[in-house]
Structures are given as structure tokens and as C-alpha cells.
Amino acid sequence: MTNSDLERVTVRPTDEYNQKLVSYVHPPNWVNPQPADVYDLVVIGAGTAGLVVAAGAAGLDLGLKVALIEKHLMGGDCLNVGCVPSKTIIRSARVVGEIWDAKDLGVNIPQHNIDVDFPKVMARMRRIRADISPNDSAERFQKLGVDVFLGSGRFASKNTVEVGGKTLRFKKAVIATGARAAQLSIPGIEKAGYLTNETVFSLIQRPERLAVIGGGPIGCELAQAFRRLGSEVVLFHSGSHLLNKEDAEAAEILQKVLIREGIRVVLNSKLEEVVTVTEGKRLYFSSNSHRDSVTVDEILVGAGRSPNVENLNLEAVGVEYDKHQGVKVNDYLQTTNPKIYAAGDICMNWKFTHAADAAARIVIKNTLFSPFGIGRSKLSSLVMPWVTYTDPEIAHVGMYEHEAQKLGIEVTTIKIPFSSVDRAIADGEESGFLKIHHKKGSDEIIGATIVSSHAGEMISEVTTAMVNKLGLSKLSSVIHPYPTQAEAIKKAADAYRRTLLTSNTKKLLGFLTKLS
């Protein structure tokens, strides 16, 4: 492939920051290398899962031949249209939320005169994204010893992949092509036009009126962020409450916050049609048998993901897939072709960057260091936390109570409201809570939910305990600095310890005091 054969990629707006981004993650002057005779691993897709597999295998310094193929931007969704840009603008939006709450903290700031410089917020996001991009760059991976091929990869035979007119032979291959925003079958929406996570971060002017479709994590995060940055927001959700897969009490707290902040939340909604009118884009919808319409400047779709299985020629290598669920894998992340594995959004229900990272590590072990299948790692063995980055955040790990009940596991739930945690009271953040589910009659933790401005930072302590089989008794012995909101975890552990004070143990303790 010559320079002229390489498909150029443009990220809008084409300012200095996005040009810097592209220069790292899809350099226009890139020349694909001459393929090795045979690769130990060929990885298709340079999002989180693909990058971790490629870097992990090449970085072992074992002389492994690794090829990495990417048709668009290295770094995938996380760097370009996901975690990095969204959390950057959420940080700006959180400042506005703090200003709104300032009066309760004794700081009087005129609420009607908050000057949000939206173009500057977005420029800051683009600068930060560009500054982080060298970590995922083609040049960095080349220096790690990975052969980086820019272009569309597709399987050509049972042991070859074609990209840019070159043929790559492999011993093992990994599919890590990710997923994209799902298309919605709403009449008129394609003609009217809409934003997704792949295009919303290209905005340079704030939409004065924004409709967000989808009350899951992405929809809630961006609805709150844009509302705080000055947009009038209406949030449509087909369920009876937002985040309907989340703990119901946690979701209710967030729902009340969003409504209090001025977001119009339309539940049990069915979008019937989108029509372009002089005033903007008009959405006709029904909710609880009531028909209505709303006119907005932009529509943001944040409902569902579709796996990128097209144009891979998976049939040629016997890899089964579903257009909605993605590539089919077993618990070892092996496809129906034993020489081909998959990781990340293309095959997993956990569509998180950290989940893709963890799965990629499983793939490295199972493809390269498990001869005859000995010592393979399982996806099901992972203890997976996740966070919805609203304000307050909602973090969860392990099972929900209803999931445990379906499996016949009797659970006891300890709930610590943050209204009983001194630091949360001092911070004015009493509305959240910590819930820890443990097996009945045991201190084994099987799940937890935290609602707090710092929930994402706090959940890792519970995750660490679960991974290392540390029960509530052990957590009770951990000294937590006072005052911190993480003290709620110790309070939960202490609450469990108090349940062990039966009448018999009290008698024993009383006897011991007499001997002491």
C-alpha cells in the first residue's frame, strides 16, 4: 500500500487538536509494512481490546510476531468518541452543578449569570484527547514491535487476513472490531439527522434544545452534561424509570436529580415520528397513552449498540455471529473457529473499556500460553465493576439482589445511607447510599451498589475484597481515614460484625471480662 492508497481520515472540526489526534491514531503518511511470513497473532481492531492484546503479546519480549489492523482511528471508541471526551466535558459540567449547589454551602453565586463558554469546553476536550492519543498511536505500537496495518481487514481463508492489498498469514487471530451506536427505526429520523456518541463530540456550538433518546448510562450522562452546559434537554426513555437495569433505589435518586436540574424526563415513551420544521426537528411521541410533540435543535441517540461484524467475511473462516449480539464465543473467548478469538464490545455484554482490557488479557493467555487448553482463563471468572458517570455517580459490582435470588442464593443486604456518614454530611452529599449484598449466614460479599459523587473511586475497594475472597469481617479490620465517604464501607462491615453478637457470644464476652 502506498501513501495514496491509504484512506484519509478526517475528524471534525479540523482544528490543530484534531489534526494532532489524527497524526497519531491514523497518520496520513503511514506506510503499511511488508507482512511477516506468518504471525503468531493477527488482531483486527485497534480499540481497547485490540490494543491490549497487541501490546501485551509484543511486550513480552519473546519474539512473537504480532500484527494489528485498524481501518479508522486507533484507540477506538474509548479515546475518540467515548470515555475520554465524555468524561472531559462531564468535568466541565460538574463545575456548573457545584455552582448550583453553592448557595447551600454558604457561597452566593448569581445563578442566572453562569457563563458557559461551550466552544471552549469542547476545545478543551479536543486538546486533552489529542494529548492522550500518543498512548494509542501507530508509532508507539510500531516501536513496541507490532506491525501496524491501516485499512479494512477481512478474512480471506482459514489462516489469512487481507488488508490494503496485502495478505497476512496467522497462527491465531483475534476479532476486536467493537460496536457502534444502534440505528433506531423511527420514521423520519434519518432524514432529519441525529447525533450519536460518534458525532456529538464534533459539536462546536451548543444546541439550545436537545432531545436525548435513551435513559441508559450514556443517555443519562450526556443529558445531564448538556443540561448543565446550558441546553434545554428532554430525555426519552422507553422504561418506567431511568437506568432500568440498575438498582431501583439508585436509579430513583438520579432520576430525581435530573428532574430537579430541569431535564424533562419522558418515561414509557414511544417515539412515533421525526419531522423537520422551520423551528427545528419535531419529535412526535406518546407516553402513558398521551400523545405530544417537542421541537429541538438536535437529537442525540444513546440507546443500544450494534456489533461491527460486517465486511469481515466471517463465513469464510467458520466464525458464527449474530447481527445484534455479535460474534459468538465460549467462556474462553474462543469463537466457533478454535484458532480465532474475540474480545470487547464485538462479543461481550459488558461494553466497558475496563472489561475489554480484562478480556484482552484472557485472550493473550488462552491464545499463547495454554497449550492443549491447559490453564485457560474464563470470562465468567471476572468480577466486573462498572460506573455511570452522572452526578451523583452510580457504581456497581457483582450481583444484584434479584439476580442472586434467581440463582437460589439467599442474601442479606446491608444499607448504609450517606446521611449517616460524617464526610458526606460535611460535603452536602447525603442523598446517596452504599448497599452490600452478602450470602446469608456468611460474610462473603456477592455484590454492591454505591450512589455518591465519588462512587467510581469507592467501588474498587469492594471489588478488591470480592476478587481476593475477603469477607466483611476482614473489611471491618481495615482502618479508613476519617473523615472520608469510603468510611461507609467500614460502617457496613461493622454492621455485619454486630450481627455476630448473639446472646451466647455476649455471655462469653462477659465471662472474659471477669477474667481480664
What the block records as the C-alpha cell of 493 is 462491615
Instruction: Determine whether the annotation assigns residue 345 to a binding site.
Output: yes
Secondary structure of 271-292 as H, E, C letters: EEEEEEECCEEEEEEEECCEEE
- Separation of first and last alpha carbons in the chain: 84
153 annotated to a ligand binding site: yes
Specify the amino acid at residue 107.
V
Burial (CB count within 10 angstroms: exposed 0-12, middle 13-18, buried 19+), residue 501: exposed
The whole-angstrom separation of Cα 378 and Cα 396 is: 21
Q: Is 87 annotated as a binding residue?
A: yes
Alpha carbon distance 245, 227 (integer Å): 23
Longest dimension (CA), the chain: 89
DSSP class per residue in 224-235: HHHHHTT-EEEE
223, 263 in Cβ contact below 8 A? yes
Beta-sheet strands, E only, within 374-474 = 385-388, 393-398, 411-417, 433-439, 445-452
Q: Is 220 annotated as a binding residue?
A: yes
- Was 151 annotated as part of a binding site? no
456 is in an annotated binding site: no
Q: Which three cell numbers stand for residue 265?
A: 424526563
The answer to the question of whether 428 is labelled as a binding residue is no
- Give 165's DSSP letter: T
Q: Are 487 and 421 in contact (CB under 8 A)?
A: yes
| 232 annotated to bind ligand | no
Per the annotation, does 45 bind a ligand?
no
Other C-beta atoms lying within 10 Å of the C-beta of residue 32: 20
Q: Is 374 within any annotated ligand binding site?
A: no
With CA atoms as reference, report the closest residue to 326 among 342, 347, 305: 347
**Cβ–Cβ under 8 Å, residues 3 and 27:** no
Q: Which helix (H) or strand (E) holds 190?
A: helix 189-192
Burial group, residue 233, by CB count within 10 angstroms (0-12, 13-18, 19+): buried
Q: Is 221 annotated as a binding residue?
A: yes
Query: CA 107 from chain center: how many Å?
Result: 35
214 annotated ligand binder: yes
Residue ranges of the annotated binding site for FAD are 87, 153, 345
Residue ranges of the annotated binding site for NAD(+) are 214-221, 304
Residue ranges of the annotated binding site are 87, 153, 214-221, 304, 345
